[in-house]
Structure 1
Amino acid sequence: MNFQALVTPAEGLSALSADTLLIVLPADGGEVGDKVIDQALQSALKQGDFERKAGRTLYLHGLSGVKAQRIVLVGARDGSAKSVKAAIGQGVAALKGRAVKHLAVCLGGVVESGHAESVVLAMEQAAYHYSHTKPSAEAPQLPAKVSLVAGKNDLAAAKSGLTRGQAIAAGVSLAKETANRPGNFCTPTYLGEEAKRIGKEHGMTVKVLDRKAVEKIGMGSFLSVAQGSDEPLRFIIMEYTGAAAKAAPIVLVGKGITFDTGGISLKPGAEMDEMKYDMGGAASVLGTMRAIGELKPKINVVALIPACENMPSGRATKPGDVVTSLSGQTIEILNTDAEGRLILCDALTYAERYKPAAVVDVATLTGACVIALGAHHAGLYASDDQLGEDLLAASRTAQDPCWRMPLDEEYDEGLKSNFADMANIAGRAGGSITAAKFLQRFTRKYAWAHLDIAGVAWKGGAQKGATGRPVGLLTHFVLARAGYKG
């Protein structure tokens, strides 16, 4: 889709040269501002054909005096970017099956950059469909051109939001596509190739390390997870340089378990197919780097992705085994299904060499986080309050919510081991917290935050599929740190 911002015609929306108008009507708003359309709206309200409530739609065809052949009026809860996004999605659904070529979106009132971004993200949500292993899947019919109509004073903000929205939407789609591909297609090798492709397109330095290189570095914890699989591991390093070479970077670390059986601590068979999504953290980091590469903020960003499978075999790590991490700390592996933290801890230690301004790891880490927060908020842990506040602010701006969780030192008690410096799991109580406390032991030398996205990275059931979260959150966080004004 081609997005553009247009100034509202002096003659009103009736004069717009588009085949379809999508007009968002906040419940507390006034009229559209176009005589012909307002008359049609008042008539529909009077006859009970439309209510100004969130989610209500009205389709008008061939309205006399209006250039556009189709008009969809859609109610929004209010004028917020979040409500606009929901309303656009509902309006596009009302146009399903119609041959729309040029869609003009009219929000009414002041158009802010966040509104424009919401328009693009709503269109991405409508446009994305998975077809890689399902060639029979038909792509939705969507307009080739989408115009956001704004007043002259709002035009710059609208253009800025559309630009940012398109970059984030591309990152979200990439994250969805990567995560949705089955484990026999989306392997660690595939993730490495995707990273190289993104790097080549956007001028990043990319290295993809194999087992020998990882052994040479000394990532014993990462290696212990990968040793049960025949699929080769990969350690992916992406470096985006948008500031002076010596400027401390933001480091993003993504968990890349391309399939998780649980290892010797085998998972139940029900819904195990969804464990292809256990690389959702890696997918979101790749999507974020894709967005950053397009927007080119003046900041340095490094992405680190440890990628492997967690499989049971004669070579697999056993419960009770002790491994030595890159940090030199030893770990007693009490449960091989708590493997994400074992690959992340070595990547977090590796991050020290960049002397980072901050490190954020992203992982589908614990079922306990799903129990705690459900499928709406990601769990946020931060050792640095300013970093935590920055991520919360980015989550609000991006409509990609997270919730700050505790890191009190008392939660460390459950990780004690008689045979190593720590165990890889504690008891069931506070499982997401103790997992974060495990990771924190490898982050003492920098400001660190952890996003547990186990509840938000994908949907199950009839709507099974990746969400692309938290690409929006991470991108807004990086842009804010860079002081991006685009």
Structure 2
Amino acid sequence: MEFFVSTASPSRQRTDCAIVGVYDKGVLSTAAEELDARIGGRIAKLVKRGDLRGKSGDAVLLADLSGPCERVIVLGLGTRSAFKRKQYRKALASALSVLSKTGARDAVSYLGLDEIADADAYAQARAAVEVVAASQYRIPDHKTTNKRPKPALTKFGLAVGSRGDKNQAERGLTHGQGIVAGMALMRDLANQPANVCTPTYLARAAKNLAKDYKKLNVRVLNEAECKRLGMGSFLSVTEGTEQPAAFIVFEYYGAPRSQAPTVLVGKGVTFDTGGISLKPPAAMDEMKFDMSGAASVFGTMKAVLELQLPINVVGVVPACENMPGGRSTKPGDIVKSMSGQTIEVLNTDAEGRLILCDAITYSRRFKPDVVIDLATLTGACVIALGSHLSGLFSNDDALAAALKAAGERADDRAWHMPIGEEYAEQLKSNFADFANVAGREGGAITAACFLSKFTEGLRWAHLDIAGTAYQSGANKGSTGRPVPLLVDYLINKK
């Protein structure tokens, strides 16, 4: 897909399809009014006949036009004062849905020519790229028939009101393209079935990424190497499976190596049965998405590489399966983590924290500026926040604030959740330094408290993406989150 910025007026820009809007009560936007004069008042006639009232969600296609464009998609934008970034994204998505049913190969959006209170030219352009990419994404399915045809659209333009906005918009397009490249990689990995996307598959995907980008170094540790490093907690999860675990390390240096890196740690459980603490069968197929934290590290690294950001980033992915078997870790077993701390495993379905804790300890060797772990960690976080916001936990308020702000800018929001000593006390064990679970109450918080036991001296944040990384139901599949949040954070990192 090619993206461009146009400063030409709607009455002059040649395109297969122009996208304009009408506000509530039939008030034409600036672009709609100007274009209407060139197409014989067709938009005004729609309003006059009552075929378009400007309500949010309305969409009408005008075709076989003479003038600068063959087609016009006219969208209802709702109340002008309420038309903000969220409504802008929805309107664009509606336009792309209509556009997909035509043969248009290029289109230009004029939706941002009137001021949008919370979206400047940069934000509009970045959002436009994400919406277009979402409309064109195709799940790497394994069907032999009825495959969805590729979209005809190959070129998409964003109109801006002045040449002064052009540089901002072009920067937004560049960043947006980096973000959607990362989101696509994350979604491709997470959407694969678990018999395809194994730990070995992830290791191979990491090496292939390094072949594509010279600035990326990848190392994959096998189980023997992990054992020598003392990763007893990580290896305890993989005991019951025949699939070998892989501990994947990405290193990208876009700044002098003396600059402390940001380390991203992603949970990579390529399938989670729960182990001996077996999950119920309903929706267990969705446990192929339990490597979404790992996939988001892959996606974020891809975006950083595409954008060549002037920072240092390290990615750490402990990848394994969690299966029941004769050698599986059992409830009540005690394992020793890489940090030297011992853990009583009361529930083998609380395995994500067991692999993340060793990965966090491993990340210390890079002398990081910050460590951010990403995991579909707890169903409790879904109960707390639903599918709209990721759970954000941190031992550093400034880091939490920066990540929360990045989520707001990226429309990939997170909510700052508490961690505290009173919650950590629930992890006490009679037999080990602490247990891996603490009961149902505050489950997302006690999981974060568990991880915090391995972060002393680190600036650390944890994103629980159990509710946001993938969708269930008819639209089942990976969402690509939290790649936009992470990339925005890295773009704006001081």
User: Normalising TM by the smaller chain, what interval?
Assistant: over 0.9
- Which amino acid is 2:389 matched to? H
Q: Does 1:74 align with 2:79?
A: no
1:253 paired residue number: 265
Contact 2:140 2:192 in 1 (8 A): no
Corresponding residue to 1:299 among 311, 332, 336: 311
Corresponding residue to 1:159 among 159, 170, 175: 170
Q: Does 1:421 align with 2:433?
A: yes
Measured in 2, the distance between the counterparts of 1:172 and 1:51 equals 36
Q: CA deviation at 1:142?
A: 3.7
Measured in 2, the distance between the counterparts of 1:315 and 1:13 equals 68
Corresponding residue to 1:85 among 73, 85, 89: 89
Q: Does 1:289 align with 2:295?
A: no
Q: CA deviation at 1:97?
A: 2.3
Contact 1:255 1:363 in 2 (8 A): yes
- Which amino acid is 1:149 matched to? A
Corresponding residue to 1:339 among 341, 351, 373: 351
Change (3 A) 1:29 1:356: farther
Corresponding residue to 2:132 among 116, 123, 131: 123
Contact 1:24 1:84 in 2 (8 A): no
- Summarize deviations over 1:107-160 as a string: whole Å, max 9, x none: 223551110011110011111111342243223424111111223121111111
Q: CA deviation at 1:62?
A: 2.5
Q: CA deviation at 1:14?
A: 2.6
Corresponding residue to 1:14 among 7, 11, 15: 11
Measured in 2, the distance between the counterparts of 1:247 and 1:327 equals 25
1:217 paired residue number: 229
Q: Which moved more, 1:76-85 or 1:200-209?
A: 76-85
Q: Give the CA RMSD over aligned residues.
A: 1.5
Equivalent residue runs for 1:31-180 within 5 Å: 31-32=30-31, 34-37=33-36, 39-64=41-66, 66-76=67-77, 78-107=82-111, 108-110=113-115, 112-136=121-145, 137-150=147-160, 151-180=162-191
- Summarize deviations over 1:225-267 as a string: whole Å, max 9, x none: 0111100100010011011111111000000000000000000
Q: CA deviation at 1:209?
A: 0.9
Contact 1:23 1:106 in 2 (8 A): yes
Q: Does 1:399 align with 2:411?
A: yes
Contact 1:129 1:139 in 2 (8 A): no
Measured in 1, the distance between the counterparts of 2:227 and 2:35 equals 71
Task: Give the number of equivalent residue pairs.
Answer: 478
Measured in 2, the distance between the counterparts of 1:36 and 1:368 equals 51
Unpaired segments ≥5 residues, structure 1: none
Q: CA deviation at 1:466?
A: 0.7
- Which amino acid is 1:35 matched to? E
Q: Does 1:448 align with 2:460?
A: yes
* SS of equivalent to 2:297: helix
Measured in 2, the distance between the counterparts of 1:381 and 1:135 equals 44
Contact 2:20 2:32 in 1 (8 A): no
Q: CA deviation at 1:34?
A: 4.7
Change (3 A) 1:225 1:36: closer
Tell me the TM-score normalized by structure 1: 0.95
* SS of equivalent to 1:184: coil
- Which amino acid is 2:153 matched to? P
Q: CA deviation at 1:26?
A: 5.8
User: Percent sequence identity over matched residues?
Assistant: 47
Q: CA deviation at 1:52?
A: 1.9
- Summarize deviations over 1:293-325 as a string: whole Å, max 9, x none: 011111101000000000000010000000000
Measured in 1, the distance between the counterparts of 2:227 and 2:28 equals 62
Q: Which moved more, 1:423-432 or 1:34-43?
A: 34-43
Contact 1:127 1:142 in 2 (8 A): no
Measured in 2, the distance between the counterparts of 1:146 and 1:175 equals 23
Tell me the TM-score normalized by structure 2: 0.94
Q: Which moved more, 1:209-218 or 1:336-345?
A: 209-218
Contact 2:29 2:114 in 1 (8 A): no
- Which amino acid is 1:314 matched to? G
Measured in 2, the distance between the counterparts of 1:248 and 1:59 equals 53
Equivalent residue runs for 1:370-381 within 5 Å: 370-381=382-393
Unpaired segments ≥5 residues, structure 2: none
Measured in 2, the distance between the counterparts of 1:169 and 1:249 equals 23
Measured in 1, the distance between the counterparts of 2:28 and 2:14 equals 25
- Which amino acid is 1:200 matched to? K
Equivalent residue runs for 1:225-240 within 5 Å: 225-240=237-252
Measured in 1, the distance between the counterparts of 2:140 and 2:312 equals 35
Q: CA deviation at 1:82?
A: 2.7
* SS of equivalent to 1:235: strand
Contact 1:88 1:119 in 2 (8 A): yes
Q: CA deviation at 1:25?
A: 4.7
